[in-house]
A and B are shown apart, each in its own frame.
Chain A
Amino acid sequence: MAVEVSRRRFLQGSVAMTVIGGMSMAPSDLFSNEEEHGSQAVTTKTGTGEAELIPTLCEMCVNKCAALARVEDGVVTKLDPNPMFPKSRNMLCPRGNAGIQALYDPDRLKYPMIRVGEKGEGKFKRVSWEEAYDAILNGTDKFPGLAKILDEEKDNRSTIFFCAGEGMAEHTFKTFFNGFGSANWLNHASLCLRTVVSGYGVTIGAYPQADLENAEYIIMAGANRAEAIVTPDTMDFFKRTKGRGAKLICVDPRFTNTAAKADKWLPIKPGTDLAFVLALSYVAIMEELYDKAYVEKYFDGFTQYKNHLYSEGYTPEWAEKITGIPAKDIYEIARDFMKHAPKAVYYPGRRSTFAKNDFQLRRAMAIFQALGGGIDTKGGLVFGKKLPLKSHPTIAPMYAQAEGVDVERAKGHPGYADCAIVSGGGSWIGFRNRVLEGKGLYPIRGMFLYKHNPMMNMPNTKKTAEFLKKLDLIVTIDTMPSDTVMYADVVLPECTYLERTDPVKTFGGPEPAIAVRNKVIDPMYETKPVIEIMRGLTEKISKPLFEITKKYDEDVQDDIADRGEEEVYKDFDLTIPFKHSQEELNEHAVSGYPGAAEALKEHGVYYPNMDKWFKKVSVNEHVYYPDDKKAYTVRGGKPKTPSGKVMCNLKNIAKKGVDPMPTWRKEYEYSVPEGKFRMLTGRHAQFTQSGTANNAMLHDLINENYIWINKRVAKKMGIKFGDMIEVSSEAGSTRLRAYPTEKIAPDQVFFVHGFGEESEELTWAYRSGGNDNAVIKDDIEPVYGAAVMHSTNVEIRKV
């Protein structure tokens, strides 16, 4: 058999053969006291002498895979997979392996800094931690501090808002938010998985996991597990595709690496998945292929849903016109799925909201899955088990002057002004735009930001920049000088995940476990873990801020008259949750399990009977739980909704103006004006959004992102591989190089997210490739106000 296998790799992204590093950087005073900036990243060969292996958890993406860090002479020389963690199944992906470069990145934030230039200019001076905390409380001649702002706002704590990216220490930061007393918390959810989690939540009672180790038939639509790696799904699944036990139907407008592993790839028109699922459900119900016993027992509103599908005429023939998928394929897939059910999975996915109808799409997917009875069962969607942890002391003071969440009720409607439901993580775009347009209910003046990069992570970068400039006080906690850090007033440098112990975490699923991120080496430079930053900050600000509360809060004044100040302050003492070390808090959290604290130190992982059950069965494979102990079924198939039923018809939601049953609307149809292209974005396996943008090792794999343009279209436009292209929309423009390919439709373009940062302090990431969010419009969907990523039409031209 002749096979072309060459090291001269000509493929998307990995094309640039330029040797990276060693670029000269413009002089900057960001690291004015250091000459380390700009030095080369290196790899270190592992030695054969003494070494320590420390179990930790990866933070190069959100999966939290278990790793063993090899430490030689105080230097981390290698990260290897830790085989003992059932979730990550003895593997580390390219990003996990490249964690060493995040630790030793020469561009890292090293010292606390305060702004000395104009906002957004990126001019800072190095200060001590004490000076940084003081600047947060009392401000400088460039910006006001918390004391002034809260005094002016009469102790309305909600004038300061908090936002965080996903991470194990997010919890610690959120504890500070709770104590501070603001009503405004924004996290990544409305830019990520809000609609999918809630869609499944209201329909079957939980966002489930998919048992891809045992499913026989999988529809993967709008999810790309070969490139957007999720553990254990990716590892379980791709050992079984290609005629080896798992049949894969991949539904995606572009041909991904997941499509390359599929039995069938269906190039669907962007944003029309809902019509596809409705037609699948139509076939399953009208041909009576569904699991009648399951539907009888666990469905609520089945007849209404059936009548709805019938009366709306959601036939495969109807769906073909909307989706571009042939009706005969839809019939075949619906029949095959139901034949394999309950060992069939319509994969829930995890990713961003692509279209305005995303909430309804996820509802329709959950209902279709349930029609086959594949809920809470082996080979289907599973709820799994979780090992509970003990909680730790926290505080939740009441500030009478703090206003509620900054969202307006829509006039004459029961919902909110820009979406129907306000979730815990808020609507980032809705919030930003309200502040920007001066439509807030009260002034929003400052923000605390942890591990979050709104300049890169949210559609319409131009608006985000204007928004950040409007705020009086921005405090960022981060490891890297990101585009957002450039807008900060106070920069607090966090240590990387390899330099800290984080809150111990319990991971649910069929094979539940507890795992911990143990500190591998001491924090470098003057960086600190979040818990220590919170300890130092709260010691500084807790009492002075209480003085402001005393001044404006009549409830507190009355309470002091009653109980005395010392007693009342105990409820407002922000330092309380941060008094103990993370190690002490973790030991307490697992104290209900004998031997767990020791196991977590030694192995990084614990679950009951691990010492008996965990076994190596081959050079690559391990067993974690005996088959009969895996929690595939925990409720006998019963959904987790309050009613214990699959909710087809949500009457409560109808009151808020949301379709009570998944319904296709004319406005969802796909169309692109002549001469324009629909802009698609997505992931690949080598980078995690903008979080890994400056990783020297990962730049070896993909130096910059490329825009996919259909080959025939590119030829017509005179565009060749590597040509510089300007992509523009009504939101803005960006530039990146062209990759003509047949893997994309003639009226669409695609490039991966996370590239094109503008911070000059990032040696590798600075202007490497294009930023999708500079081009994507800030449309939001109507239920949760989540960002819609695939609704922007763009123009392209060669420059």
Chain B
Amino acid sequence: MARYGMALDYKNCINCKACEVACKEENGVLLGADKHRIWVGVKEIEGEYPLLSIASNTFYPSQCQHCDNAPCEEVCPTHATHYDENGVVRVDPDKCILCSYCMNACPYDARYVDDRTMTVDKCNFCSDTRLARGETTTACQATCPTKVRIFGDLDDPNSEISQVLREREHFSLKPHLGTKPKLFYLM
């Protein structure tokens, strides 16, 4: 029993997309540019050459926020989407009927359709691959060149993620929606 979360030192991100590839290879995510569990959000730069705003060009690595109060779980008619014993939002492929309510409900656009299994798929913190083998990192964290991610147990006060969140300012995405994400962006 744990409550898994992830802290992202997003200022380190250079938008190389190593995390996307590691995720796909680890979890057997389908090939195709529109099939991905994680991604890097980028905004087109503001200003006119040569007067550009450096600050406007940021990279935000993102994925399922593993909300404590997940809208996708709420709308799922078959309970395919559920919280597992570690607080990870999971999808049971046997129960999914591809109604796509969850895709519409997710405010973070974190879900896509796996055409092979005909179910909705998304990040599960490598629960059925790396964590199931007893490893303590997700594929995206392990591979990251600039070490953006810290994955760990939020309920363990001695875990590195708990310490970092105590010591450093951070924010979560769309907090006004009350979804209580377990992804934290470090300032």
Q: List residues of A whose CB falls within 8 A of some B CB.
A: 1-11, 14, 16-21, 40-48, 77-81, 90-94, 96-98, 100, 226-227, 229, 231, 234-235, 238-239, 241-242, 244, 255, 257, 259-262, 265, 267, 324, 618-621, 685-686, 696-701, 703, 710, 712, 741-746
Q: How far is the CB of A62 from chain B (nearest CB, A)?
A: 16
Does B54 sit at the interface, judged by CB under 8 A? yes
**Which residues of the other chain, A, contact B108 by a CB distance below 8 angstroms?**
5
Q: Across the interface, name the chain A residue whose C-beta is closest to B134.
A: A48
Q: A94-B16, A262-B54, A265-B54 are in contact. Are A620 and B31 (CB under 8 A)?
A: no
Q: Across the interface, name the chain B residue whose C-beta is closest to A43.
A: B28
Does B104 sit at the interface, judged by CB under 8 A? no
Contact A92 B18 (CB under 8 A): yes
Contact B41 A685 (CB under 8 A): no
How many angstroms between the C-alpha atoms of A320 and B159 in the bound complex? 53
Q: Which 9 A-B pairs have the closest CB atoms?
A: A45-B28, A5-B41, A685-B16, A97-B21, A226-B14, A620-B147, A260-B57, A267-B50, A91-B145
**Which residues of the other chain, A, contact B142 by a CB distance below 8 angstroms?**
80-81, 90
Q: A257-B15, A701-B20, A710-B49 are in contact. Are A229 and B129 (CB under 8 A)?
A: no
Contact A97 B49 (CB under 8 A): no
Q: Which of A17, A91, A98 contacts B144 (CB 8 A)?
A: A91
How many angstroms between the C-alpha atoms of A696 and B26 in the bound complex? 16
Contact A93 B18 (CB under 8 A): yes
Contact B145 A235 (CB under 8 A): yes
How many angstroms between the C-alpha atoms of A517 and B22 in the bound complex? 21
Contact B33 A17 (CB under 8 A): yes
How many angstroms between the C-alpha atoms of A743 and B45 in the bound complex? 8
Q: How far is the CB of A710 from chain B (nearest CB, A)?
A: 6
Q: A6-B41, A97-B18, A700-B32 are in contact. Are A265 and B52 (CB under 8 A)?
A: yes
**Which residues of the other chain, A, contact B152 by a CB distance below 8 angstroms?**
619
Q: A18-B33, A43-B31 are in contact. Are A745 and B18 (CB under 8 A)?
A: no
Q: How far is the CB of B93 from chain A (nearest CB, A)?
A: 12
Within 8 A of A (CB), among B77-91: none
Q: How far is the CB of A18 from chain B (nearest CB, A)?
A: 7
How many angstroms between the C-alpha atoms of A698 and B17 in the bound complex? 10
How many angstroms between the C-alpha atoms of A413 and B29 in the bound complex? 63
Q: List 13 A-B contacts (CB under 8 A).
A: A6-B109, A7-B41, A14-B33, A40-B31, A81-B143, A98-B21, A226-B14, A226-B15, A226-B16, A239-B9, A619-B136, A700-B32, A743-B49
Q: A45-B28, A619-B137 are in contact. Are A239 and B54 (CB under 8 A)?
A: no
Contact B34 A43 (CB under 8 A): no
Q: Across the interface, name the chain A residue whose C-beta is closest to B63.
A: A7
How many angstroms between the C-alpha atoms of A9 and B35 in the bound complex? 12
Query: How many residues of B sit at the interface, in one of the four size bands?
Result: 35 or more
Q: Across the interface, name the chain A residue whose C-beta is closest to B160.
A: A619
Contact B12 A239 (CB under 8 A): yes
Does B44 sit at the interface, judged by CB under 8 A? yes
Q: List residues of B whose CB falls within 8 A of some A CB.
A: 9, 11-12, 14-18, 20-22, 24-36, 39-45, 47-50, 52, 54, 57-60, 62, 108-110, 112, 128-130, 132-133, 136-137, 139, 141-147, 149-152, 160, 171, 173-174, 185
Q: A45-B129, A46-B26, A700-B24 are in contact. Are A742 and B31 (CB under 8 A)?
A: no
Q: How far is the CB of A459 from chain B (nearest CB, A)?
A: 26
Contact B57 A255 (CB under 8 A): yes
Q: Which of B20, B25, B57 contacts A79 (CB 8 A)?
A: B25
Contact A697 B62 (CB under 8 A): no
Q: Across the interface, name the chain A residue whose C-beta is closest to B144.
A: A91
Contact B21 A743 (CB under 8 A): no
**Which residues of the other chain, B, contact A16 by a CB distance below 8 angstroms?**
33
Q: How far is the CB of B153 from chain A (nearest CB, A)?
A: 11
Q: Across the interface, name the chain B residue whose C-beta is closest to A45.
A: B28
**Which residues of the other chain, A, contact B24 by a CB distance below 8 angstroms?**
43, 697, 700
How many angstroms between the C-alpha atoms of A226 and B28 in the bound complex? 27
Q: Which of A44, A97, A685, A696 contacts B28 (CB 8 A)?
A: A44
**Which residues of the other chain, B, contact A620 by a CB distance below 8 angstroms?**
141, 144, 147, 149-150
Q: How far is the CB of A64 from chain B (nearest CB, A)?
A: 15
Q: Which of B29, B109, B110, B133 contacts A43 (CB 8 A)?
A: B29
Q: Across the interface, name the chain B residue whose C-beta is closest to A93.
A: B18
Q: Across the interface, name the chain B residue whose C-beta is closest to A255.
A: B52
Contact B33 A94 (CB under 8 A): no
Q: How far is the CB of A15 from chain B (nearest CB, A)?
A: 9
**Which residues of the other chain, B, contact A40 by a CB distance below 8 angstroms?**
31
Contact A78 B59 (CB under 8 A): no
Contact B32 A91 (CB under 8 A): no
**Which residues of the other chain, A, contact B109 by a CB distance below 8 angstroms?**
6-8
**Which residues of the other chain, A, contact B129 by a CB distance below 8 angstroms?**
45-48
**Which residues of the other chain, B, contact A96 by a CB distance below 8 angstroms?**
18, 143
How many angstroms between the C-alpha atoms of A619 and B138 in the bound complex? 11
Q: Which of B18, B29, B49, B132 contacts A94 (CB 8 A)?
A: B18
Contact A11 B26 (CB under 8 A): no
Contact A618 B160 (CB under 8 A): yes
How many angstroms between the C-alpha atoms of A8 and B44 in the bound complex? 13
**Which residues of the other chain, A, contact B32 by a CB distance below 8 angstroms?**
19-21, 700
Q: Across the interface, name the chain B residue whose C-beta is closest to A11.
A: B42
Contact B31 A696 (CB under 8 A): yes
**Which residues of the other chain, A, contact B12 by a CB distance below 8 angstroms?**
238-239
Q: How far is the CB of A758 from chain B (nearest CB, A)?
A: 23
Contact B27 A45 (CB under 8 A): yes
Contact A242 B52 (CB under 8 A): no
Q: Across the interface, name the chain A residue whose C-beta is closest to B129.
A: A46
**Which residues of the other chain, A, contact B18 by a CB distance below 8 angstroms?**
91-94, 96-97, 685
How many angstroms between the C-alpha atoms of A268 and B55 in the bound complex? 20
Contact B22 A260 (CB under 8 A): no
Q: Across the interface, name the chain B residue whose C-beta is closest to A21.
A: B31
Q: A43-B29, A226-B15 are in contact. Are A701 and B21 (CB under 8 A)?
A: yes
Q: How far is the CB of A768 from chain B (nearest CB, A)?
A: 13
Contact A234 B45 (CB under 8 A): no
Report which residue of A5, A7, A94, A261 has the largest number of chain B beta carbons within 10 angstroms of its beta carbon: A5
How many angstroms between the C-alpha atoms of A239 and B17 in the bound complex? 16
Q: Across the interface, name the chain B residue whose C-beta is closest to A46.
A: B129
Q: A7-B39, A41-B31 are in contact. Are A744 and B49 (CB under 8 A)?
A: yes
Contact A742 B45 (CB under 8 A): yes
